[in-house]
Structure 1
Amino acid sequence: MNESDPSHVTLTLTSDESLVLFAFLQRFSDTDRLTIEDQAEQRALWNLCCVFEKSSVGAFQGSYQEALDAARARLRDDD
């Protein structure tokens, strides 16, 4: 968690992770399908999950589910 602004999180990825995840997300954006096409995508996602877990420790006051529900509500498009 970024201590200067607690509403932002800074993630650090390797350049390989960044490129593989970008290609993965771009493919999803183009096809609306989340599929692993290479084991490197799976590894990059596992690594990203670990980064999120480390950055999220202690970030939630109250329950995880309540924090997740509130975050989803804030991120949804206004339809």
Structure 2
Amino acid sequence: MNLSEPVKIELSEDQALVLFDWLCRLNDGSAANVADHAEQRVLWDIQSGLESVLAAPLQANYNFLLAQARNRVKDATQ
């Protein structure tokens, strides 16, 4: 395995939005669970990548859209 090769993960838009919001909250805090700066760098990179493809964070009704996405993700696993 070549470590410089990209790894692709597919997420639904709802999953991506929920993950994005969690990463924003995590990255805005002290992130006490990060053991190495490389881990923090990966979290920032994932957040940035999601931010570049998601439209919902720019919407005025973001909190409503996030709540809907969370409900759909929860319902999908129950």
Which structure: larger Rg?
A: 1
Length-normalised TM-score, structure 1: 0.48
Query: More helix per residue: 1 or 2?
Result: 2
Relative contact order, CA 8 A, sep 6+: which one is greater? 2
TM-score normalized with structure 2 length: 0.49
